[in-house]
Amino acid sequence: MNFAASPVLTLRLPVWRSRLLLLGFFAGFAVLSVRAVFLQGWNNNFLQAKGESRYSRVIEITANRGRIVDRHGEALAISTPVKSIWAIPGDFELDQAQLVKLAALLEMQPQDIQKRIADSSHDFVFIKRQIPPEVADRIAELRIPGLFQSREFRRYYPGGDVMAHVLGFTGAEDVGQEGVELAFQQRLAGKPGSRRVIKDRKGQIIEDMESIKAAQEGHDLVLALDSRIQNLAFGALKSAVEAHRAKAGGIVVLDVVTGEMLALANYPTYNPNNRSQLSGSSLRNRAVTDTFEPGSTLKPFTVATAIETGKVRPDTLIQTAPGSFTIGKATIHDAHAEGLITVAQVIQKSSNVGAAKIALGMPAQSMWETFRSVGFGVPPKLGFPGEVSGRVRPAKTWRPIEQATMSYGHGISVSLVQLARAYTIFARDGDLVPISLVRVDTPPSAQSVISAETARALRAMLESAVHPGGTAPRAQIMGYRVAGKTGTAHKQENGGYAANKYVSSFVGFAPVSNPRLVIAVMIDEASDGQYYGGAVAAPVFAKVMEGALRTLGAPPDAPMKPIVLPAAGEELKDSV
């Protein structure tokens, strides 16, 4: 067959059809060219955004948390770099051998890792946070797909359990949870920054493009705390609580001149570097958040009020015989029947009957005003989380028996910090200063509460209380004159008072000639057979005060001669 002669091949198409097709090709090419020029020249944001969505990321730059240091610059809390291990569940792939190695490095069970991945409903899941960098490096060597690391900071506390209740701790996000870490969170935390980086398909950074916002580092915080005194106070308190088989205890050390808190400790405590076994009782900052009836430590304020209102003088005689005093249906008792004694001896001998008679000789409002003016019933404004105000009911609600019992510290509740601060009026010639957790460079302004003459009179009475014949001879310190007052009170329980549970306390200051420190000690439920403040709390005061004064270089104001203590069974006890 002759194909060249086929009529199909000899058919001629119209010229306009080929030209129309060619024109269509040119028009399409022109449209694409214009679109390309438009996208890449005038409107390239769209393509740029699409490209960046695949490789460009904005990452947060963590701000380093500020340090916490004591008044001498010794580090109490610092941030150390750590790593967090996280995974993308959809990309997470590993064999059994890798799983076992990963679990061993993370100190986890293999099934826990698998469960964490399986239970995640998100594209991102933490496997474990805050692990040491050297462990993270060994994990990176496993080269597990879908497993990543991020840099974080972990708080480290060199002082451990000694500083725990002052400093508190931070959580996994490096945010303050307790103590100073929480109280000064904004100052310590700083502000995170951000950077734009390029990542490959495995999520690894291959190029650092630009800084969007620089991180603002947290500010350091200088506390009033003196680490030497803090260690001394904690050690003495711990020994006393354990020796007397007590439930708990607290101690506060204040600088008389500046109101700075040089030490604050509680026992039991916890280690903020290892919080795996925390309990509510160990977390409680008892010196700040717990209140108790102060017992006889309140008598000096009753006597000071009576002297200020002109009702008594230090040498005014008070009849305390026969050692009891009945008001309505209630009877007040003394531990020792003293008979006719002076107002000064009411403090020295710790007479409940004497204090009650002095209180009933003046208006209840006068006592209430004194209590409020020294800070009872008002938060101390330290800035600590959970600080309490205590309880002082309005004077108009007091019945005679309540006014009488309040004179020796029953029917009123205070915190240990409040009690320590209140005693500064006797050490400072009658005025009161704010107390501070942070170092004070300029002494604060003071508020006058009682006259200097009254303060000096009470100072002499409180000094007699620590001498033989008083209730606290065990508070004496060789080489220093000491003044203070014991307190022993039944604990409140189920709407009444527990028969055999006591709060033992002592508050005092030294040197008497030029007071430098006030120390308040509280021991809760001593159970070794001793529970009076003079036997349980006063020795703690003496040990801490002696060490603290020598640490501060305070000059002695008394002869360096041995301390005289009463024989066993002859020591004067508080009236409870």
Q: Are 43 and 194 in contact (CB under 8 A)?
A: no
Could you give the C-alpha distances from 131 to 88, 139, 192, 476, in angstroms and in order?
Answer: 19, 11, 21, 50
| Cα dihedral sign, 332-334-338-342 | negative
Cα separation of 182 and 384, whole Å? 8
Cα separation of 245 and 428, whole Å? 36
Q: Are 230 and 269 in contact (CB under 8 A)?
A: no
| Cα dihedral sign, 358-361-364-370 | negative
Q: Which residue, among 337, 340, 346, 351, has the nearest Cα to 304 in the 3D structure?
A: 346
Q: Are 376 and 369 in contact (CB under 8 A)?
A: no
Cα separation of 71 and 66, whole Å? 15
Amino acid at 80: T
Instruction: Classify residue 215 by burial, with Cβ atoms within 10 Å: 0-12, 13-18, 19+.
Output: middle
Buried b (16+ CB within 10 A) or exposed e, 562-575: eeeeeeeeebbbbb
Q: Are 125 and 117 in contact (CB under 8 A)?
A: yes
296 is catalytic: yes
Cα separation of 107 and 102, whole Å? 8
Selecting among 282, 296, 373, 575, the annotated active-site residue is 296
Planar angle of CA 423, 424, 430, nearest 5 degrees: 105
Distance spanning both ends of the chain, measured CA to CA = 136
Planar angle of CA 353, 310, 460, nearest 5 degrees: 65
Neighbouring residues of 576: CB distance < 8 A, sequence distance ≥ 6:
295, 335, 488, 489, 490, 502
Could you give the C-alpha distances from 492 to 41, 250, 353, 480, 497, in angstroms and in order?
Answer: 82, 18, 21, 36, 4
Could you give the C-alpha distances from 37 to 33, 48, 49, 480, in angstroms and in order?
Answer: 6, 14, 17, 92
Amino acid at 302: T
Q: Which residue, among 411, 178, 419, 381, has the nearest Cα to 287 in the 3D structure?
A: 419
Beta bridge mates, 249: 267, 523
Q: Which residues are part of the catalytic machinery?
A: 296
